[in-house]
A = this chain, B = another copy of it.
Amino acid sequence: MRKARRSGRVTLAEVAREADVSAITVSRALRDPEQVSKATMERIDAAVRKLGYAPDMAARALASRHTNVIGVLIPSVTNNVFSDVLRGIYDALDGTRYHLQLGNTRYSVLEEENLLRIFLSQRPAGLIVSGIDQSPATRAILENANCPVVQIMETGPDPVDMMVGFSHREGAKAAVAHLAEAGYRRIAFLGARMDPRTQRRLQGYQDALKQYGLGEDADLIVTTPRSSSVTLGGWLFGELVSRRPDVDAVFCNNDDIALGVLFEAQRRNIAVPHALGVCGFNDLEMMASACPSLTSLRTHRERMGREGIDMLIRAIEDDRPEERVVDLGFEVMRRESSTGPAR
């Protein structure tokens, strides 16, 4: 006779025996109490509590061929931008039956592809991915995943399935337009980690310059492939000033850079906003508290997370929203750092 290889855990069968019903009844009672009579429900409840039963997710997934796992892929856990999105995601998940499985792609399309394969091998109920710059292979995987998919952070013309975000190009354009309208004329672009999303912000910057008849000047665009930080903002600004001492405003690819610019300007006794206008991107919490307070483009990160999950869950539960692409827009938060140059 073969050996039993039980794991020591309490199983449905044992609960069933204790409650004097069949296993399937316990299974039903746990998943949908409505389907079971009140009396048996009570006995089952008691048995569950007495034995300390906890369902085995693996067995459940195997038998039902689905899980309540929602896979979320973000490019960075260190970036404040994504932590806000995550907060929205957690909030939206609260009280639902879905769990979160988080993957960190570290801005690598290859890692994204690998993580996606791993996720799909767990039969997720739905997937959330960041951005619209998936590799063709990743895109193919997503299109064949037999679960709903939401792309967040950005909108674009060709959603895999659903989308919630905003146009980074339009956002950047609006921010730079604000600097131009405030009277700044030699507006620089400071950018770190020049990924496709940042490239689109650069395009928005160029769009605005053109619109306001401010000729382009390659010296005013200072970028680096390194990932952004406050310190890096200071360096980029130093480089900019050495190239073009007459620069009168900077549009920063994100808020860390902008804060670094502010500190470096203070160090060099360059007055913000009279000698230098500063504008960031994302509007992290600190921007409003800085001295002077820092202008930035507010993006609705928490909402992207929350609405992404809402759309996903609706799709999972066969109640797809009508609009497949939701544009949450942005808002230029005008503050002291961009009130205009001295005249």
Contacts and interface: CB of A to CB of B under 8 A. Distances in A.
Interface of A: 5, 7-8, 54-62, 65, 67, 77-80, 83-84, 86-87, 90, 99-102, 104, 106, 117-118, 120-123, 146, 229-231, 233-234, 256, 259-260, 262-264, 266-267, 285-286, 288-291
Contacts of A83: 77-79, 83
B58 A123 contact: yes
B84 A78 contact: yes
B54 A121 contact: yes
Query: For the complex, would chain A's binding face be called helix, strand, loop or mixed by DSSP majority?
Result: helix
A256 B90 CA distance: 23
A45 to B, nearest CB: 16
B286 A266 contact: no
Given A77-B90, A86-B78, A231 B57 contact: no
A79 to B, nearest CB: 8
Contacts of A102: 100, 102
A286 B259 contact: yes
Nearest to A79: B83
A262 B117 CA distance: 47
Contacts of A267: 291
Contact of A289 (B99, B231, B291): B231
What are the 8 A-B residue pairs with the smallest beta carbon separation, nearest first? A58-B61, A230-B286, A266-B291, A263-B291, A58-B62, A77-B86, A230-B289, A78-B83
Contacts of A101: 101
Contacts of A233: 289
Contacts of A87: 77-78
A56 B117 CA distance: 11
A269 to B, nearest CB: 10
Contacts of A104: 86, 90, 100
A242 to B, nearest CB: 18
A118 B93 CA distance: 15
Given A65-B7, A102-B102, A56 B286 contact: no
